[in-house]
Amino acid sequence: PTPLFSKSGGGFGEWRGVLGVVPPQFMFGKVQQGSSAPGAANAMVVSFATSVPLSAGATLEVTGLRGSPTPDTAALLLANGSATPEGGFEPGDGPFGPAATWTKESGALEVTLASDTEAGTTYMFSFSILNPPKPRPAELVQLAASGLEQPISPIDLQCLPAPTPSDDSAIPDSGAPIPGGAS
């Protein structure tokens, strides 16, 4: 007998057949920093897509950002946005609220969805924290989701380096003040 569905290769988008069901998962995840200079303000952009919609009230957590001297805050400014044709970040509408919770000791950023997302759609948000004052090795950065009907396993984010000044995809400075940073 012919199977009703089959899977080849193991990745999202490789399911075959009319009854193939993709498990809840992050389809991809990336983070790009705006600066790698010690002590500098670092505007980071996180982009991701999921195989299932996420509901308003669900929480995303970015971990692996230890070493920043940015103090704890429940009101770290967050910018919704989308990708420019050149691959940069364009502030705009999105499902995230205007602020996130930053925890210095654990190096974690918690973002709550203000509205529902759609499966397979790329979402982006940007936030700024201070870089560590001295050079140090980078940590594994992960994105996790909670508050969902079906769990989604965390994903290791692909970390993109800070653009060079001549790079057209440079991340624009949001102009938002950074808690504990220079104005």
Using CA atoms, how far apart are residues 6 and 119, in angstroms rounded to an integer?
21
Q: How confident is the model at residue 19 (pLDDT cuts 50, 70, 90)?
A: confident
How far is Cα of residue 180 from the mean position of the Cα atoms in its chain?
22
pLDDT tens profile 5-16: 444 444 455 555
pLDDT tens profile 29-78: 999 999 999 999 999 999 999 999 999 999 999 999 999 999 999 999 99
What the block records as the tokens of 107 is: 């190096």
pTM of the model: 0.80
Using CA atoms, how far apart are residues 54 and 147, in angstroms rounded to an integer?
9
Q: Which of 79, 73, 76 is nearest to 105 (CA)?
A: 73
Backbone angles phi, psi at 26, to 5 degrees: -75, 130
